[in-house]
Structure 1
Amino acid sequence: MAEVIELRAGDFHARVDRSGAGLQSLTCGGRDLVWPYTRGSGPVAFQGQVLAPWPNRVGEGRYAFGGREFQLEINNAATGTAIHGLVHDREWSPAAVSDDAVTLRLVFEGTPAFPFPLDLSITYALSEAGLTVTTTASNPGSGPAPFGLGFHPYLTLGEPLSELAARGEVEVEITAAAHQPVDAHLLPSGPPEPVEGSGLDFRSPGRALGDTVLDTAFTDLARDGDGRAWIRLIGPEHRVELWCDASFGWLQAFSADTLGGAAHRAHLAAEPMTCPPNALATGRDLIVLEPGESTEHTFGITTSDS
């Protein structure tokens, strides 16, 4: 089986990497919808990666569960945190492959710092409506397991956001009524606060990105009639849109200001998350899977004309 699996449906084309089950690329009509990478060039800054068994950061890599304390490896030196889980560098096995869909599976046996086995399955499916990603996590172990999930695609308009913003040609919509304040380590510094009046209110269509810097977890998500919350990146010719179902209570937006070179403020990471930063330590919105239990989560990416 190839290391990278290509999918096609209508005008959509995707590449899915068995390493990390990462989304290497997604295009429509040949136009990139996400910041693409190859095994030779990335991933950079977690582009396209699966974030499990926790998304975002764990302060000092420390957490307690079941009456025991654990120390994760610090892999984000700038904030002194453990970031984005343990599965992005694992090789996943194809369970089913077709022209327009692939299901990848990882039997995660746990580590000394996270000794909780998980059986993970991710299906990437293309249709004429875009990409749908469905994840199932189950607990094959004999005791409870903590679990959080996120994804890290960078939405792109094909031209750096900094240049589009300078011309007033990029807008962002995030259907969220609250944001999570953070400290210097990007860890929660209090309860979520209303976006109204904060400079982080992107609920109304037509809000220009401008010079707003985002590395922000949003919650209190408003949902449409199908139960979906949205992040929309809107350019002069088209828009790229990410949606997530009700199992994702958080959306992180990252404007890539801390990235260097050509990646600096070039794309917008739109990260559906089941829990906020530091959830392993605080327990906020953390899923606890009892033996034999499973959980399912779905998000998608699509595009349309502006």
Structure 2
Amino acid sequence: MISRFGGLPDRERHEGKGEQVGEVFELRAGEYGARVDRVGAGLQALTWRERDLVWPYTRPEGPLAGQGQVLAPWPNRVASGRYAFQGTEYRLNVNDPATGSAIHGLVDGVEWSPVEESEEAVTLRLDFPGTPGYPFPLELTITYRLGDAGLTVTASARNTGTSHAPFGLGFHPYLTLGTPLRDLAERGEAHVEAGIGSYQPTDSRMIPQGDPVPVAGGVFDLRAPGRALGTTVLDTAFTDLDRDGEERAWVRLSGPEHRVALWSGPGFSWLQLFSSDTLGGELHRANLAVEPMTCPPDALNSGRDLIVLAPRECVERTFGILAEQLT
């Protein structure tokens, strides 16, 4: 996925109370550690036994290519930065020139306010006032919590306006095995398993065309355990997700020593998988973005799985990331 590159200008650093150091919240529980960015409420880092589970970033160097970012009030793309809602047309800034679209929402460069902090968790809130292209005020809250089962992320959105609001939510972590995927894949040591039933065809601008197509028997069929990544190129939205007894949908990235798993709870009906092939230099095919999304690309236009919040209505979604030891 071609995402916005580069971070915000470096901000004035200051010592905060508790676990806050400058703009970053440091979390720890058992074998897990994490860093959470106050700017954008992004996941800067997640470690297990001191190994990176996600591609980490620091400021001002990052985030790059959407690293760890919160995607709201829409995930993925809006075609030409234009959409209509309840009879009114709106225009967003086009910030992905390669596809001529508005990408990944409006909250990645904004400072969030800490609501609650502990050694294992932090809750951040953003009172989003709306913009000319999205004039729908929202209260957004995100909690990052570490435990024996890894990281759990709980996000909520409440419509604080007086009219209905179109809404979508996503997250943009890149799973990593510590060694570039391209190297592991060449040796047959990178495997991806995902309980995904259908993929969304797109045009050259990465905008959906037609209905989702079953993955069975095709290049995007990642359902079999131990499926080698090989030369498969992924920049694809998937849906019809298989779920376990707790209604969680799973993606697992395995290497020779351990496995990184991401689960998404009910309401995250879509996953975007991106194998980083369009990134350059050392970033090319180095990590796998696994993006839980409530809706597909261009949902502000198609309406597919788009959430419409009534005034004062709230919606909540949860996902998590953990490490699994290979036996």
Q: Aligned to 2:182, what secondary structure does the other structure show?
A: helix
Cross-structure match for 1:13: 33
Q: How does 1:104-183 map to 2 (within 5 A)?
A: 104-183=124-203
Q: Aligned to 1:106, what secondary structure does the other structure show?
A: strand
Q: Once the two structures are aligned, what percentage of the paired residues are identical?
A: 65
Q: Distance in 2 between matches of 1:198 and 1:82?
A: 30
Q: Distance in 1 between matches of 2:149 and 2:49?
A: 13
Cross-structure match for 1:208: 228
Equivalent of residue 78 in structure 2, options 50, 58, 61:
58
Q: 5+ residue gaps in structure 1?
A: none
Deviations 1:253-294 (A, max 9, x none): 000000011111000000000000000111110000000100
Q: Distance in 2 between matches of 1:105 and 1:14?
A: 18
Deviations 1:93-126 (A, max 9, x none): 0000000000000000000000000000000000
After superposing on structure 2, the runs of 4+ consecutive aligned residues of structure 1 that deviate more than 4 Å are: none
Once the two structures are TM-superposed, the CA of residue 248 in structure 1 deviates from its matched residue by 0.2
Cross-structure match for 2:9: none
Cross-structure match for 2:8: none
Once the two structures are TM-superposed, the CA of residue 202 in structure 1 deviates from its matched residue by 0.2
Q: Aligned to 1:189, what secondary structure does the other structure show?
A: coil
Q: Aligned to 2:39, what secondary structure does the other structure show?
A: coil
Once the two structures are TM-superposed, the CA of residue 198 in structure 1 deviates from its matched residue by 2.0
Equivalent of residue 109 in structure 2, options 78, 81, 89:
89
Q: Aligned to 1:262, what secondary structure does the other structure show?
A: helix
Q: Aligned to 1:200, what secondary structure does the other structure show?
A: coil
Q: How does 1:69-88 map to 2 (within 5 A)?
A: 69-88=89-108
Once the two structures are TM-superposed, the CA of residue 197 in structure 1 deviates from its matched residue by 2.2
TM-score (norm 1): 0.99
Residue 220 of structure 1 pairs with residue 228 of structure 2: no
Q: Which amino acid in the other structure matches residue 176 of structure 2? A: T
Once the two structures are TM-superposed, the CA of residue 189 in structure 1 deviates from its matched residue by 1.0
Once the two structures are TM-superposed, the CA of residue 128 in structure 1 deviates from its matched residue by 1.2
Cross-structure match for 1:252: 272
Residue 286 of structure 1 pairs with residue 306 of structure 2: yes
Q: 5+ residue gaps in structure 2?
A: 1-15, 17-21
